[in-house]
Amino acid sequence: MFFWGHFYLLIDSQHNNSYASATEVKAYLNERNIPSILLDEEKAETKTILNDFFTVKKALKSLKGKKLGLIGQVSDCLIFSDISSNILDEKFGIKLSVIPWSELTHFSEFSASDSFFGTFSGETNIDLTQTGKVNELLRYTIKSRNLDAITVECFPMVLKDSVTACLPLAKLNNDGIPAGCEGDLTAIAGMMLCKELTGTIPWMANLKSKI
């Protein structure tokens, strides 16, 4: 019996009518738009494909139960980057926690840490005190709510307080906590998956042009 929403890995051999049976099953799955792949056990690349398959399977399994915090909401300018909490849970096992800005203590109530200043210690005339306070707010929120990753709707804070979360988010990523901006759920889900696949969190950036 086959189920919708599942991916099937078929492996055939040259013995016991295996190939004929496997191609029949593959045709059955194709006709019903059920995703599957058919591999030949005698081919050298099959081992590599299987290793990749189980690497991805392990990464997806490790995502189950991870808690993602959305601070604010998905930015209005993102018309295709919203994912429902049901889809995140069904496809990845990620639990989405929506956290309105109104529930959080204002960043000005926090004190910037020496660790933050030490990370961005290059010569600059820019005062990083306020963005350092944002860093502490985000870290407090992550710790107090047991979050594994966050994405932040930044523009309300930019417009109201003239401060950004860019450096705090960069530091969180550098410290191993996936962190995205603009409330982009598509991007942060991909960042979380990449971390589990490779052990490295990718950068999130705006596109400037296409090659």
Domains contained in the chain, CATH given: 8-63 (no CATH), 67-198 (3.40.275.10)
* H/E segment holding residue 102: none
Least confident of 78-82, 125-129, 155-159: 78-82
Using H for helix, E for strand and C for coil, what is the string for 64-100? CCCEEEEECCCCCCCCCCCCCHHHHHHHHCCEEEEEC
pLDDT band with cut points at 50, 70 and 90 for residue 211: low
The rounded mean pLDDT for the chain is: 92
pLDDT at 130: 96
- Whole-prediction pTM value? 0.86
According to the model, what pLDDT value does residue 189 have? 96
**Angle 129-144/166-174 helices, nearest 10 degrees?**
50
Going by pLDDT thresholds of 50, 70 and 90, the confidence category of residue 1 is low
User: 126 falls in which pLDDT band (50, 70, 90)?
Assistant: confident
Residue from 128, 206, 203 nearest 168 by CA: 128
Residue 122 binned pLDDT confidence (cut-offs 50, 70, 90): confident
Looking at residue 81, its pLDDT comes to 76
What does the block give as tokens for 9? 């890995």
